Every structure is written in C-alpha cells, then in structure tokens.
Amino acid sequence: MTDHAHDHDHAHDHDHDRTVKPMVEEITDFEVLEIALRELCIEKGIFTAEEHRRFTEFAEQIGPTPAARLVARAWLDADFKALAIAEPMTASKEVGVDWLEPTGFGTPSDFTAFQILENTPTVHNVIVCALCSCYPRPILGNSPEWYRTPNYRSRLVRFPRQVLSEFGLYLGDDVEVRVQDSNQKHRFMVMPMRPEGTDGWTEDQLTEIVTRDSLIGVAVPKAGVTTNVIVDTRAAMHPVGE
C-alpha cells in the first residue's frame, strides 16, 4: 500500500464526526463580559496585555501534580521527607516549583513562607483560609470551588470534624484535628500518611493516589482512589445582611 492509499483508507476507517470533541457553538454573554473587562482594564493602564497573558499561562499550567509527587517521593525517601519538613521550599524546587518565582515573572502576593504539615497516626492537618481563599497555588493548582466558599471557611474553623465528615472523612477521637489558617504571607499543604496496600509501589503509582483533597486534608489517600470527592457547595448559614 502506498502512503497515499494508507491515508485514504485511514480517512474512511473512522467516523471523524465522533472523534472531534463537541464545543459550545455560540458566543455567550459571560465570555464576552470577560473579554470586555480585560480589554477595558488594559486600555485604562491598570495592567498590560503581556501581564495578563503571563498570569493566564500560569493559571493554565498549575495543578496538584507537583505536590503529589513531593509526597510520594517523601514516602519513599526518608531523607527527602526530612528535607520537605525542614526546608519545604527547597523540596518544592526538586519537584519543579520555585516559591519565590512561581510564575517565572514574580508574584502578586507578599508571600514569605510555605510549610508542609505532616500527618501522623495521632495528628490530622487540614488547611483553610478563613479570611478569603489563600491557597498554595504554585504547588497545588487552583483551589476548588468549595474551598473558596464562606461556608467552608467559617465552619471548618469552628466544626472541623463535622465538616470533614461531610467529605466522607471520619476521624477517631484519638486523632487530634489541626486546622491551619493560611494567609497571603503563609501557605500550607498537608503531607498525608502513606496508606496500607501500597508496598512495593513506584513513585509514579504513589503520586496517582495523592489527591488534591488529601493535600488539603479533607481526605486521606487510599490504594486505588485517584479522584477527589464531589461535594455540594453550600450557601453560608448566616448570609450577608442577617
């Protein structure tokens, strides 16, 4: 068969209509609004198109994989684990995250410190930002919607076990729950304990089960579980105005 004949046959072997992912085929008001705000801000000199492009690229490429790999490596290498606890920013660099230049062109926050909170059989850590929604974005990606809500932020501080149970995480009375409040200067992530049933696993295999939720502390890793919990987003119990 010639190359041409091969291409020809290939073209008829598949239903290409079905292999192209569907897309929204109309211009939505929200899409137009986002562009309008951006263009007007640029025209008013609030920021430049180049600054916006760089921040958008940063938002596109971040995710929880570096943090998951850091934890997996720490589970396999005691020296690296010690480094992660003692010098978390040095350990972060080894998984490709430079906290002092997370975007490669500076950072809008006045960030000064990053800390990794180690879970033990008697201590479980969970992070929040009670004030707004500070989150270790360079190493964990964008925060989930529920993390941003006033409901999670206020209730986790007051009723941590109740909130964790809503994520399906029930901790015994012998486990102390520590809620760590993030802010613009200090960011945190949780180093969960390595679960049973993972003996002999490689770093890549372990990385897959270190989920975003387990790095926030609303879940613990389990062999075979690689997805996050889907929770309802609740309105605040005492909304503005009450």
- The contact pattern for another protein, residues 29-68, with x = CB under 8 A and - = no contact, is xxxxxxxxxxxxx--x-xx---xxxxxxxxxx--------
**Can residue 170 be called a binding residue for another protein (CB under 8 A)?**
no
Q: Which helix (H) or strand (E) holds 93?
A: helix 88-94
Question: For another protein, which residue of 13, 26, 204, 232 counts as binding (CB under 8 A)?
Answer: 26
The dihedrals phi and psi of 49, each to the nearest 5 degrees, come to -60, -35
Please, what is the minimum distance in Å from the beta carbon of residue 138 to another protein? 12
Tell me which of 41, 92, 134, 143 is the catalytic residue. Answer: 134
Indicate the angle between helix axes 65-76 and 78-86, nearest 10 degrees.
130
User: Residue 176's beta-bridge partner residues?
Assistant: 123
Q: Which is nearer to another protein, 26 or 174 (CB)?
A: 26
Question: Beta strands 123-128 and 186-191: pairing type?
Answer: unpaired
How many whole angstroms separate alpha carbon 217 and alpha carbon 125?
Answer: 6
- The contact pattern for another protein, residues 183-222, with x = CB under 8 A and - = no contact, is -x--------------------------------------
How many whole angstroms separate alpha carbon 68 and alpha carbon 66?
Answer: 5
- Tokens in use for 200? 């002999």
217: left (phi over 0), alpha (psi -120 to 50) or beta: left
**Can residue 23 be called a binding residue for another protein (CB under 8 A)?**
yes
**Can residue 133 be called a binding residue for another protein (CB under 8 A)?**
yes
Tell me which of 41, 133, 143, 154 is the catalytic residue. Answer: 133
Which residues bind to another protein, rule: CB under 8 A?
A: 21-41, 44, 46-47, 51-60, 106, 108-110, 131-133, 142, 145, 148, 150, 184, 233, 235-236, 239-241
